[in-house]
Amino acid sequence: MVVLRSANPDFFIAHFDVAAILEFPIEKPARHEDYANAFYHDMCERFRLMDKITIAQIEGRAGGGGSELAMSFDMRFGVRGKTIINQMEAPL
């Protein structure tokens, strides 16, 4: 079993740099290897496919990338009244 939790009780994991997302090219089809966050998405996929149970213990805020990482885990547990999950790409 793998349990991931933040050392900071008010913040799980930050989001990817939104300014960088706005700079992604749109004039050609997207290629995975062209993006700075490709490694991060590969890591999330490894957690998703891991042959162990994965649990995200979320205390505080989980921004876009932190939310994506938590979604790749088998289970997510948050602290009632303290956990905030947001996905920045939605308003973009």
In a domain, 38, yes or no: yes
In a domain, 92, yes or no: no
In a domain, 80, yes or no: yes
Q: Look up residue 66 and give its two tokens.
A: 């932190």
- According to DSSP, residue 6 is labeled -
The stretch 52-72 carries a mean pLDDT of 90
Q: What does the alpha-carbon distance between residue 27 and residue 48 come to, in Å, rounded to a whole number?
A: 31
State which residues form the domain around 57.
2-26+33-85
Provide the CATH number for the domain around residue 15: 3.90.226.10
Q: Look up residue 75 and give its two tokens.
A: 């289970």
Q: Which tens digits make up the pLDDT trace of 21-40?
A: 777 778 877 776 666 667 77
In a domain, 54, yes or no: yes
Total count of domains within the chain: 1
In a domain, 40, yes or no: yes
In a domain, 57, yes or no: yes
- According to DSSP, residue 31 is labeled -
pTM of the model: 0.74
Is 65 in contact with 13 (CB distance < 8 Å)? yes
